[in-house]
């Protein structure tokens, strides 16, 4: 376990412009690779319903609880994982297209999870850096970045277009890590077991949040070294959480 890392300089008073905050580079700066769906925005149940409707459109019966268990995978992985390789081979692209249409009807309902922006602000105020690592479609990611008002808070964001294989493969994590290569330490923050598995494959520790509907025991079982209720809970304990989780950048 690494030692607790104090802020390199005191954060400015509330209301100060972001450029008055600590420069987010070098030193003991942590690079946080932050999932979006279920971690920062309350989307997991809308995605579950959208996928359920998409499977039904094509005559594939799938109980919604099975879909929910696969939240955190991108669409490229989810169809086969939920319905099998045969359905993926015959109908994968059609089901993904249907899901996109159904989810587009629901995305307007999406709200931020408690503490979502506070977590990003807390990272930035300490001089840490963050990349939002999502396997959602780019237009959805851009919608969430605007909902979070986070364009000035994070270094970058990824989407499904940035990699060939989404979580639980480590590609998205590795792509995000490249943007944080000059950080001293890295950590993944996510809400599903798939985030933890992908992080482990990339050699980066993970913090899990319960806000996506996965249990603390299964998040720990998948490799999370810390579990918090939601982004607000993590933001309130951020220094201790990062001291216990973030590890040196794999070289």
> What is the per-residue binding string for Mg ion in 67-106, x denoting contact by CB under 5 A?
-----x----------------------------------
- Scan for tokens 């109908």, then name that residue: 91
Question: Which CB sits closer to Mg ion, 37 or 88?
Answer: 37
> What tokens were used for 64?
């919604």
Handedness of CA 43, 46, 51, 52 (dihedral sign): positive
> What is the per-residue binding string for Mg ion in 54-73, x denoting contact by CB under 5 A?
------------------x-
Q: Is 37 in the site for Mg ion (CB under 5 A)?
A: yes
CB of 221 to Mg ion, least distance (A): 17
Q: Is 140 in the site for Mg ion (CB under 5 A)?
A: no
Q: Is 127 in the site for Mg ion (CB under 5 A)?
A: no
Number of Cβ atoms within 10 Å of the Cβ of 109: 10
Q: Is 35 in the site for Mg ion (CB under 5 A)?
A: yes
Question: Which CB sits closer to Mg ion, 157 or 184?
Answer: 157
Q: Is 191 in the site for Mg ion (CB under 5 A)?
A: yes
Q: Are the beta carbons of 211 and 42 closer than 8 angstroms?
A: yes
Interacting span for Mg ion (CB under 5 A) from 17-25, 36-44, 118-126, 219-227: 36-44
Q: Is 28 in the site for Mg ion (CB under 5 A)?
A: no
Please report, as ranges, the residues that interact with Mg ion according to CB under 5 A: 35, 37-38, 72, 191
């Amino acid at each position: 376990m690494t030692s607790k890392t104090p802020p390199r300089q005191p954060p400015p008073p509330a209301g100060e412009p972001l450029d008055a905050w600590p420069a987010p580079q070098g030193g003991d700066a942590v690079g946080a690779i932050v999932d979006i769906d279920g971690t920062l925005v309350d989307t997991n149940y809308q995605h579950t319903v959208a996928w359920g409707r998409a499977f039904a459109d094509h005559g594939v019966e799938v109980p919604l609880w099975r879909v929910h268990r696969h939240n955190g995978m991108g669409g490229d992985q989810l169809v086969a994982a939920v319905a099998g390789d045969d359905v993926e081979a015959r109908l994968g692209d059609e089901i993904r297209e249907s899901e996109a249409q159904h989810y587009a009807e629901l995305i307007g309902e999406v709200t931020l999870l408690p503490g979502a922006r506070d977590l990003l602000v807390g990272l930035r105020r300490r001089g840490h850096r963050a990349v939002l690592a999502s396997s959602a479609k780019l237009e959805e990611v851009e919608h969430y970045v605007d909902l979070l008002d986070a364009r000035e808070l994070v270094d970058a964001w990824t989407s499904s277009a940035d990699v060939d294989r989404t979580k639980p493969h480590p590609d998205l994590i590795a792509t995000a890590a490249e943007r944080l290569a000059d950080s001293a330490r890295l950590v993944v923050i996510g809400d599903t077991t798939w985030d933890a598995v992908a992080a482990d494959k990339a050699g980066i520790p993970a913090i899990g949040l319960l806000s996506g509907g996965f249990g603390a025991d299964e998040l720990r079982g998948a490799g999370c070294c810390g579990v918090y209720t939601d982004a607000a809970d993590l933001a309130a304990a951020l220094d201790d959480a990062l001291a216990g989780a973030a590890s040196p950048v794999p070289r």
